[in-house]
Chains A and B, each alone.
Chain A
Amino acid sequence: MAQTTVQAPAPKPGPEVKKLHVWVGNWTYEGEYNSGPLGPAGKHTGKMTCRMILGGFFLQGQFTEKGPMGEWQGLPIWGYDSANKNYPHQNYVNNGIYLSGVFTVSGNTWSWAAKWPVGEKQYQIRGTYTFAANLKSVTDAAEISAEGQTWTPLRLGKWTKAKLTPKK
């Protein structure tokens, strides 16, 4: 018997996925790391470009960062988990670091938590990215914990969205 195949309409990203669009574009950032288990204190600067991929369901970034722990390149990816109502996030870095965690959003504040492996130990990190009302700049604050109870400031930074190049 011939099988009748009906093409289902392609699924489209919902409004919660579209909240990720605030990150789309070119960003520069700078700030300072405190000394801690990840490395020495020092200033860091970086650039990140974000775009929606795979039918608009996922946000992919590409960043380069120079800081007290060296120069990094990375590939972070965010999606939306409608069952848990959060944004699973993975970050793949060219020193082998693989961060996996979730973001939640409330107003202009994106809060996140993840695990950061250092050798055979795994630290917990968490933080917030708070957008300015015009969505053109972001304040970054992060802290770290060895056991999930005592938290130490890890990093402060500021992100600035690059202006669009005027069309000629």
Chain B
Amino acid sequence: MARISVKAPAPKPEPELKKLHALVGHWTFKGGFKAGPLGSGGKVTGDWTSQMILGGFFLQGQLTEKGPAAERRALMLAGYDPVNKNFPTQFYYDDGSRFSGVLTITRNTWTYEGKWAAAGKQYRAQISLMYAPDFTSGTEKAEISADGETWTPFVEAEWTKAKPAPKQ
């Protein structure tokens, strides 16, 4: 008997993933690190480029930042978890550190909560980004904690979305 093979239709990204599209594009940021367990304080500038990948199921971002001690690069990936209704997110840094957590989006406020593993130690981190209604700028505030109870600010920055190059 001939075997009938029925191809399942290709899955489509959850509508919630469209929220991540707001970050797609090129952004710059500037601000300051506070002195703390992750390093010395000082000014930071950087840029961020991101796009949806793998059929639109994940946001991939590339970050470059110049801080008080060094220049760092990072790769970020975020998807959607329909069970927990959040966006699992990872940041991988070129000094070996890693943020692993979840992103929740409430209107224009994006909050990352998770663990930051750096230099053999693990911290809790909370990073909130409050975007303007038109998603062309945002304010970032981040805090870190060694024990989950006492929180220390470690970065504040202003983000600006780069305007697309004019058509020629």
Contact = CB atoms under 8 A, between A and B. Distances in A.
B37 to A, nearest CB: 14
B92 A79 contact: yes
A54 B88 contact: no
A98 B79 contact: yes
A98 B83 contact: no
A82 interface: yes
A3 B42 contact: yes
A10 interface: yes
Contacts of A117: 81-83
B7 A93 contact: no
Contact of A98 (B11, B55, B81): B81
Contacts of B55: 94-96
B117 A13 contact: no
Interface residues of B, number: 39
Contacts of B82: 117, 119-120
B54 A75 contact: yes
Given A5-B69, A6-B69, A82-B120, A96 B92 contact: no
B74 interface: yes
B83 A120 contact: yes
Interface residues of A, number: 38
B79 A96 contact: yes
Interface stretch (B21-29, B95-103, B130-138, B148-156): B95-103
Interface string A103-124: 0000000000000010110100
Interface in B5-40: 7-8, 10-11, 13-14, 40
A31 interface: no
A58 B69 contact: no
B8 A70 contact: yes
A122 B83 contact: yes
Contacts of B121: 83
Contact of B10 (A70, A79, A119): A70
B117 A57 contact: no
B74 A96 contact: no
Nearest to A82: B120
A3 B68 contact: yes
Contacts of B83: 117, 120, 122
Given A57-B94, A77-B77, A83 B54 contact: no
Given A83-B122, A117-B82, 9 more contacts: A10-B95, A54-B94, A70-B10, A92-B53, A93-B54, A96-B11, A98-B81, A98-B88, A122-B83
Interface of A: 3, 5-8, 10-11, 13, 17, 53-55, 57-58, 69-70, 73-75, 77, 79-83, 88, 90, 92-96, 98, 100, 117, 119-120, 122
18 contacts: A5-B40, A5-B42, A10-B95, A11-B95, A54-B74, A54-B93, A57-B95, A58-B75, A58-B92, A75-B53, A83-B121, A92-B58, A96-B13, A96-B14, A96-B80, A100-B88, A119-B82, A122-B83
